[in-house]
Every structure is written in structure tokens, then in C-alpha cells.
A and B are shown apart, each in its own frame.
Chain A
Amino acid sequence: MPGKKPKTRTIAVDLVARVEGEGALRLTVQNGEVRDVELKIFEPPRFFEAFLQGRHYEEVPDLVARICGICPVAYQMSAVHALEQIFGTRVEGPIRDLRRLLYCGEWIESHTLHVYMLHAPDFLGYDSAIAMAKDHPDLVSRGLRIKKAGNRLMTLLGGRSVHPVSVRVGGFSRVPLRRDLDALHEDLLWARDAAVETVRWVAGFEFPDLVQDYTFVALTPSDDYPFNEGPVASSRGLHIPSCEFEAHFVEAQVPHSTALHCTLNGASYLVGPVARVNLNDDRLSPLAREAFAGTGLSLPIRNPFHAIVARAVEILYAIEEALRLIERYDPPSSPSVPVTVQAGTGTACTEAPRGILYHRYVVDEQGLVREATIIPPTSQNQRRIEDDLRAYAPRVLSLPDKQAALSCERVIRCYDPCISCAAHFLRLDVTHL
């Protein structure tokens, strides 16, 4: 339509297919410039936070596991750590190791799903994993088999592969035998080699050139790569315990979204694999460090498209860590430590596959939940996704609407947004004013 462009044009592209959950993005463009970026999240009004009120603390791990089908362990772990903080429960030794091991299973499953089934098709020019599988069945089968190693860990420790049921405050309802874990050894060894290949594979993709000045935020324990614990640190010098989280990270309602946006000092920040690798690279396992060094990328990673490489490195880390934990496993005499119920407030941050997951609970003397606050990683990254899109969108505006929208989807997908935790529909609208 040369010379007769309509004043306002809106196109909508469904994003449901390859983003976990649903939401919507609106880009407003005027005279070739991006005027506004709004990631809209339609959240069932904090259903779970209300749902938890009045529940007994023992029910909490099983209830929060239902929030997300992809990262139930993260929800369980943040919950039990926060509740244990209230009760003064200390979980150490093999039970602590088993929690890390369960988290390894979740990272392997979640990251492999994203790298192979959801994200790699973007770089190889396919619109879905199905189309990719037709041309590259061996690659897709490799991904499925790595993921299966994670499934087996989850099934063994969690009682089943989705929505694990064995996690409780104080430990587990049951723990595996030595020989149960030994049975996973061979699968994990295979998966470790496959993960090394995966890092090499994704590092060879062609990445759009988009470098951003991020504030990275991750847990930074002194000895381990982060899963269950550690101070919350930023690349700009913040270093706080989880109980101070809400004093620094502010959740606020924004008009275009029913989910809350979280900011640090009024600005966006980044959580997830890229932030973790950037802040904890010296605590990666030997092969993971070597594999990362082989990618030729330098730290800090500042291109959002490189997240697929960080995610692949973390798959390798989680597999190596699982092998290490299994090697030294000595079953505890009891699957959990005793819990003394008392009233109080407890907080915890753990590292969900997509980044920091914060929980705070207020519990009364009967052990009933009075108040629950949950801040998932995706709502923390939302503002950051908008900022990336603001920087990226100008270069795709000359493309036809559909292509422009697909390019923006790719930026969003770098974050592996688990919008089911925070929303229920994701579409992309580009409005040209």
C-alpha cells in the first residue's frame, strides 16, 4: 500500500505454541520509532497466595508444586526453606544433598526442554520442534534422552516425574537407597557426554548482535553453584540475605498487566541462567567450565540470545553435580529431621531454572499459613524483556509485520518465560501509529 499506509495497524501473533503459558505483548510504533513496549500478563489474581492462607504448613509443599508443571521443585524448595527458617529447622548432610539432586533433575528437564524443543528451532530456521525433528531426528532424540535422565532423577526422588510428592518440611517423606541412585549412573554418564555436545552445538548458532547493559541478579553461595541457598547478589554490588529481598526488590502494579512487575532501585534486572553463570562462573563444575571456555564467549554474557548457551552449560553442570552427589550419597538414618512448630515469618530464595524464586510465609502457632507471598522469576524478568524489546524492535520494524512479530517472539523466548506462573495468555500485537 505505497503512500497510503493506514494510520493504525495492529497485528496479532499467537505466542502460545512455544512459550510456557500465555500472555501478550504490545509494541507501539510511530515514525519508525518504538514508542512503547508493554508485556501484558493476565494473571489469575494471585490465586495461590490466597489459596495457601489457612492451610497447614505440611500441605504447602504439595500445593505449591501445582503452580508450575515445569518447575515444581523450585516452588517446593523455596517453600520448605522459608518454613524451616520459621521453625529453626536445620537440614544438612545427605538430605541437603538430596534436595540439590532433585533440583538437578528439574534443571536438566526444564533446560533441555527449552534448549531442544522450544529455542533451538529459532536458530535453525524451523517454526517448531516437530518440523525440526523431521530433518534432525537424531538431535531431537538426543535432547529427549538427556531430558529423560532428568525425569528419572525426579521420579526417583520426587515420587513421580511431574509435581513431586515426597518433599516435606524437614526433608523428604522417603529417601532412595544407594542402589536406586546407582541405577541412574549410566544414564547420567551418557547424558554428560551429550550435554558437552549440546554446549558445542548451540555455541555454533548464529546470534543476532544485541548487547545490553544488564544488572545481573543471582544467588551466590560461597562454595557451590547456586540451587537452594546463598545471599542474593547483583552485578552492581548488592549483597543481601533473602530476608531483605522485599526491601530492595519492589513489586508494583503496572496499568497494562495484572501481574506485578519487580524492579531493583526502580530499574529492570536479569535473573536466570545468564545471571547465574555471570555471577558464579568460578563455581561451575570442571567440565562445565571447560565447555563454556570452548564456546569462545567471554564473561559477562551481555547478549540475551546467548542465554541458550548459558542454559546448555547449566544442563552440563546439573548432570555433573548429580553424578558427584550420587557418588558420595550415604543414606540418612531418617528421611527428615524433626520440626518444632512455632509462629513467625520466614523467607527463602532458591534458583528455579528461570531464576530466583522468592517465597515469604507468615505462620501462626498452630502451623497454619496466615500470609504467603510468591515472586516468580518471570515477573522479575518482565521489565527486562520489555527493555530488550525496546532496544531490539527498531531493527525489525522494516520487516513485514509477521516477520517483525516473529523476531520479537525470539527475544522473548531467550528468557524461557514460564508465564503459566505469572499469566495465562501470550499474544504479540504491533501497533503502528
Chain B
Amino acid sequence: MQPVRVIGLGNRLRGDDAVGLHVARSLRGRVGRQVEVIEGVAGSLDLLEWIEGARQVILIDAARSGQPAGTIHRFDASTAGIGACLFPSSTHALNVVDILELGRALGRLPPQVIVYGIEAVDLRDGEALSPAVAGAVEQVAAQVLRDLEDMTHA
């Protein structure tokens, strides 16, 4: 059976940008054996390879839409693109939405793609998350676990 993948994206050295990585890390050991957890660099086209061959993918990345820090956005990108410009391009060529759309154009998206964006506030150099963002990590992790449960039952 094709695997389910949970992929956290971010840059560990750029403050809140790393929030997706924190969520992925907190999920290690808490997901079923058929679920692969990946901590990846944001903006890398490697994402296309990480999602390829999976039947379901859950992505978690930092978002910047002007909402309060720690706000959680959830999108189903399975059949249509995420229109909103929520994800920072920061120092990378392509953001997560661009890469998903590239995958869609090439027919390489898994059947189900869920994207979480967590509002980041501080992207300066450093390894610490700001408090509101750190507070969202466990909430998102719990929601991802519920998603995985729903997927199993679907």
C-alpha cells in the first residue's frame, strides 16, 4: 500500500519559519507505522519527490498573511490550488503553494493533499519560536493526528 506522509517544512535557523519542523518532530513516534514523517527544507523542489508515490500527504509550513501569530490555517489542496498568498517565499525560489501547483501541472500530486499554515511573526536569525507560535505546535500536531485517523477510516 502507498504510504501516507506528514511533511514539516522550514528553516531551523530562521525563528518561526521552523514551526513546521517542530510539528513534524513532535509527531514522530505518535503516528502509525504506515505513516512517514519528514522534516524538510522549505522551498526545495525535493518536495515533489517527497510527495510522489504517497496516497495522502499532510504538509505543515509557516504562513504570513497578517493574522495574529500562531493562527492555524488548514487547506485541502487535493483538487484545487490554494489561492491565497499565505506562504512566504523568504529566501527561496518557490514556496509550498508554487511547488504543489507545479506538481499538479505535471500530474504528480497524491490523491489527497492537506496543507497547514501557521502564522509566523519572527523570521530573524535564531532557533527559538516566539511564544504564540510555539503554542500552536501541539494544536496542529493533534489536528494532524485526527486527520490521519479520518484518513484511515475513509
Task: Give chain A's interface residues, CB within 8 Å of chain B.
Answer: 16-22, 44, 47, 66, 69-70, 113, 117-118, 128-130, 133-134, 137, 140-141, 144, 147-148, 151, 161-163, 419-420, 424
A133, A151, A162: most-surrounded residue (chain B CB, <10 A): A133
* Cβ–Cβ contact A69 & B105, under 8 A: no
B94 contacts which of A117, A141, A419 (Cβ < 8 Å)?
A: A117
Known: A44-B125, A130-B98, A133-B102. A161 touches B46 (CB 8 A): yes
Kindly state the separation between the CA atoms of A44 and B125 in the bound complex, as whole angstroms: 9
Residues of B within 8 A of A144 (CB): 45, 48, 106
* Cβ–Cβ contact A162 & B46, under 8 A: yes
* Cβ–Cβ contact B49 & A113, under 8 A: no
Residues of A within 8 A of B125 (CB): 44, 47
* Cβ–Cβ contact A117 & B13, under 8 A: no
Kindly state the separation between the CA atoms of A307 and B45 in the bound complex, as whole angstroms: 22
Smallest CB gap from B99: residue in A: A130
* Cβ–Cβ contact B45 & A20, under 8 A: no
* Cβ–Cβ contact B106 & A141, under 8 A: yes
Residues of B within 8 A of A117 (CB): 45, 93-94
Total number of B residues with any Cβ neighbor in A under 8 Å: 22
Kindly state the separation between the CA atoms of A163 and B43 in the bound complex, as whole angstroms: 13
Task: Give chain B's interface residues, CB within 8 Å of chain A.
Answer: 11, 13, 41, 43-46, 48-49, 89-94, 98, 101-102, 105-107, 125
13 A-B pairs with CB atoms under 8 Å apart are A17-B89, A17-B93, A17-B94, A69-B43, A70-B93, A129-B102, A130-B101, A148-B49, A151-B49, A161-B44, A162-B46, A419-B91, A424-B91
* Cβ–Cβ contact B102 & A20, under 8 A: no
* Other 5 A-B pairs with CB < 8 A, given A117-B45, A134-B105, A161-B44: A21-B91, A133-B106, A140-B106, A162-B41, A163-B41
Kindly state the separation between the CA atoms of A20 and B89 in the bound complex, as whole angstroms: 9
Residues of B within 8 A of A140 (CB): 102, 105-106
Residues of B within 8 A of A18 (CB): 93
Smallest CB gap from A155: residue in B: B46
Listed from nearest, the 7 A-B pairs whose CB atoms lie closest are A420-B91, A133-B105, A16-B89, A134-B105, A130-B101, A21-B91, A162-B41
Kindly state the separation between the CA atoms of A161 and B41 in the bound complex, as whole angstroms: 10
Smallest CB gap from A136: residue in B: B105
A113 contacts which of B93, B98, B105 (Cβ < 8 Å)?
A: B93
* Cβ–Cβ contact A69 & B44, under 8 A: yes
Smallest CB gap from A68: residue in B: B91
Kindly state the separation between the CA atoms of A60 and B135 in the bound complex, as whole angstroms: 33
Residues of A within 8 A of B48 (CB): 144
Smallest CB gap from A21: residue in B: B91
* Cβ–Cβ contact B102 & A130, under 8 A: yes
Smallest CB gap from A141: residue in B: B106
Known: A66-B13, A141-B106, A162-B44. A20 touches B91 (CB 8 A): yes
Residues of B within 8 A of A141 (CB): 106
Residues of A within 8 A of B43 (CB): 69
Known: A44-B125, A47-B125, A134-B105. A118 touches B45 (CB 8 A): no
Kindly state the separation between the CA atoms of A128 and B101 in the bound complex, as whole angstroms: 11
Kindly state the separation between the CA atoms of A17 and B94 in the bound complex, as whole angstroms: 7
Question: Shortest beta-carbon distance, A2 to chain B, in Å?
Answer: 35
Kindly state the separation between the CA atoms of A24 and B110 in the bound complex, as whole angstroms: 37
Residues of A within 8 A of B89 (CB): 16-17, 22
A137 contacts which of B41, B90, B93, B106 (Cβ < 8 Å)?
A: B106
Residues of B within 8 A of A70 (CB): 93
Residues of B within 8 A of A128 (CB): 98
Question: Shortest beta-carbon distance, A427 to chain B, in Å?
Answer: 12
* Cβ–Cβ contact B46 & A20, under 8 A: no
Residues of B within 8 A of A17 (CB): 89, 93-94, 98
Residues of A within 8 A of B107 (CB): 137
B43, B94, B102: most-surrounded residue (chain A CB, <10 A): B102
Question: Shortest beta-carbon distance, B134 to chain A, in Å?
Answer: 22
Known: A16-B89, A20-B93. A113 touches B45 (CB 8 A): yes
Kindly state the separation between the CA atoms of A162 and B98 in the bound complex, as whole angstroms: 19
Smallest CB gap from A131: residue in B: B105
Residues of A within 8 A of B90 (CB): 22
Residues of A within 8 A of B105 (CB): 130, 133-134, 137, 140
Residues of A within 8 A of B101 (CB): 130
Question: Shortest beta-carbon distance, B69 to chain A, in Å?
Answer: 20
Smallest CB gap from B124: residue in A: A44
Residues of B within 8 A of A16 (CB): 89
Known: A44-B125, A163-B41. A118 touches B46 (CB 8 A): no
